[in-house]
């Protein structure tokens, strides 16, 4: 039982990470029906954005007040790259069917990984470490450090941060989608783009907002991942992105709340499977993707269904 509780906490932690990334897949899909396979790299770039901010401005600092700046740096990097890729790579392909943007997304994914791998230490005027190996991520007091003992369960401080971020982002997202003009515009575009235009909605701008919102959440996930794992690398976005995509499909792609639920379910099931099924951690990804296949066979619309950016 103790072990079950411990694994549940671990699962919720990794699940929160998946959920934060999965929202980006689902929001963009809900608006433009594009699976943005480069979204995992946006998450990776968030982590590198936070690291760069730290290296430039706060080297050696460990106080908590640094953390908001790291998050802002991460968001600036992620949102900037996401909006730029939308502008230069996806927008010219709008109306070109679904295959071309999909292949473009895979291309951008590879491009961004290799770009960080090859050029991160070559930024002129800055003394960044090479991204070819793992880079230690700044450790911040309060959110890293000795784990919290809660009865039989040990909780990493970074895990509390991660889960807290998901709760806050979920609430902010709900408010944004249901209570703001732009959020209503997003709902309208995802339900009927042609009619949305006739309401005076600038569909191109809504698409940019969708990319930016997803990237902002992925950036937070990037910081959380850095704090949890204590190091980051240029490949971290690939498998995390794949898992988050699985989570989005699991919850029902296009449905924001489905993505969050899917992320948590995937994280918990994956962690429990490693603990209680034979094979151990090498089989972790097997269980995760087996779950995806089962969902696609028996409930292809996902847990919460709906192909739109939808209300809860």
Partner 1 sequence: MSTAAVPHADAPSSPGRGVVLEARNIVMRFGGLTAVDDVSFQVHEGEIVGLIGPNGAGKTTFFNCLTGMYKPTSGEVTLGGRALPPRPRAVVTAGMARTFQNIRLFGNMTALENVMVGRYCRTSSMALTSILRGPKFRREERESIDRGRELLRFVGLDDKADHLARNLPYGEQRRLEIARALATEPQVVLLDEPTAGMNPRETEEAMRLIFRIRELGMAVVVIEHDMRFIFTLCDRVLCLVRGALLVEGSPAQVQSDPRVIEAYIGGSEDDDISADELTEEDVEVLHAEGVDVEPSRTSARSENGR
Residue from 97, 146, 181, 297 binding partner 1 (CB under 8 A): 181
State the CB neighbour count (10 A cutoff) for residue 23.
31
Q: Given 3-state DSSP classes, what are the helix, strand and coil percentages for the chain, each rounded to the nearest 5?
A: 70, 5, 25
Supply the minimum distance, in Å, between the C-beta of residue 212 and partner 1.
8
For residue 232, the minimal CB distance to partner 1 (Å) is 27
Which residues, 6+ apart, have CB-to-CB distance to 29 below 8 Å? 35, 36, 248, 253, 254
Structure tokens at 1: 């039982």
The answer to whether residue 187 forms part of the interface with partner 1 (CB under 8 A) is yes
**Is residue 180 a contact residue for partner 1 (CB under 8 A)?**
yes
Q: Cβ of residue 310: shortest distance to partner 1, in angstroms?
A: 5
Closer CB to partner 1, 21 or 309, in the complex: 309
For residue 66, the minimal CB distance to partner 1 (Å) is 23
Does residue 310 belong to the site contacting partner 1 (CB under 8 A)? Answer: yes
CB-wise, 122 or 181, nearer to partner 1? 181
For residue 81, the SS3 value is: helix
Q: What does the alpha-carbon distance between residue 145 and residue 122 come to, in Å, rounded to a whole number?
A: 32
How far is 257 from 89, CA to CA, in rounded Å? 28
Q: How near is the Cβ of 41 to partner 1 at its closest, in Å?
A: 23
Name which of residues 191 to 230 contact partner 1 (CB under 8 A).
191-192, 194-202, 209, 212
Q: Decide whether 191 or 229 has the Cβ nearer to partner 1.
A: 191
Q: How many residues bind partner 1 (CB under 8 A)?
A: 27
Quick one: 196 or 221, whose CB is closer to partner 1? Answer: 196
* Rounded Cα–Cα distance for residues 291 and 269 (Å): 9
Find the part of the chain contacting partner 1 (CB under 8 A) among 124-132, 141-149, 182-190, 221-229. 182-190
Is 98 a residue that touches partner 1 (CB under 8 A)?
no
**CA distance linking residue 152 with residue 275, whole number of Å:** 16
Cβ 235 vs Cβ 83: under 8 Å? no
Residue 173's nearest CA partner among 1, 30, 282, 14 is 30
Identify the DSSP state of 303: S
Residue ranges that bind partner 1, judged by CB under 8 A: 176, 179-185, 187-188, 191-192, 194-202, 209, 212, 306, 308, 310-311
């Amino acid at each position: 039982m103790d072990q079950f509780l411990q694994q549940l906490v671990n699962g919720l932690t990794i699940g929160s990470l998946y959920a934060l990334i999965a929202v980006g897949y689902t929001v963009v899909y809900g608006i433009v029906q594009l699976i943005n396979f480069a979204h995992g790299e946006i998450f990776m770039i968030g982590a590198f954005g936070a690291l760069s901010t730290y290296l430039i401005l706060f080297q050696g600092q460990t106080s908590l007040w640094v953390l908001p700046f790291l998050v802002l740096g991460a968001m600036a990097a992620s949102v900037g790259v996401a909006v730029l890729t939308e502008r230069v790579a996806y927008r010219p392909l709008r109306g070109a069917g679904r295959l071309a943007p999909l292949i473009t997304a895979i291309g951008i994914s590879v491009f961004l990984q290799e770009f960080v791998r090859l050029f991160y230490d070559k930024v002129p005027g800055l003394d960044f470490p090479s991204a070819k190996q793992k880079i230690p991520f700044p450790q911040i007091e309060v959110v890293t450090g000795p784990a919290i003992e809660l009865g039989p369960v040990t909780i990493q401080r970074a895990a509390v941060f991660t889960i807290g971020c998901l709760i806050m982002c979920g609430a902010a997202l709900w408010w944004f989608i249901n209570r703001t003009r732009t959020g209503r515009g997003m709902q309208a575009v995802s339900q009927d783009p042609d009619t949305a235009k006739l309401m005076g909605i600038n569909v191109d701008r809504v698409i940019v907002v969708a990319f930016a919102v997803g990237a902002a959440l992925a950036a937070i996930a990037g910081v959380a991942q850095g704090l949890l794992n204590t190091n980051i690398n240029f490949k971290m976005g690939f498998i995390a992105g794949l898992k988050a995509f699985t989570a989005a499909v699991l919850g029902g792609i296009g449905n924001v709340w489905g993505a969050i639920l899917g992320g948590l379910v995937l994280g918990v099931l994956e962690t429990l499977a490693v603990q209680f099924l034979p094979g151990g951690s090498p089989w972790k990804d097997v269980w995760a993707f087996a779950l995806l296949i089962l969902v696609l066979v028996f409930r292809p619309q996902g847990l919460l269904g709906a192909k739109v950016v939808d209300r809860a």
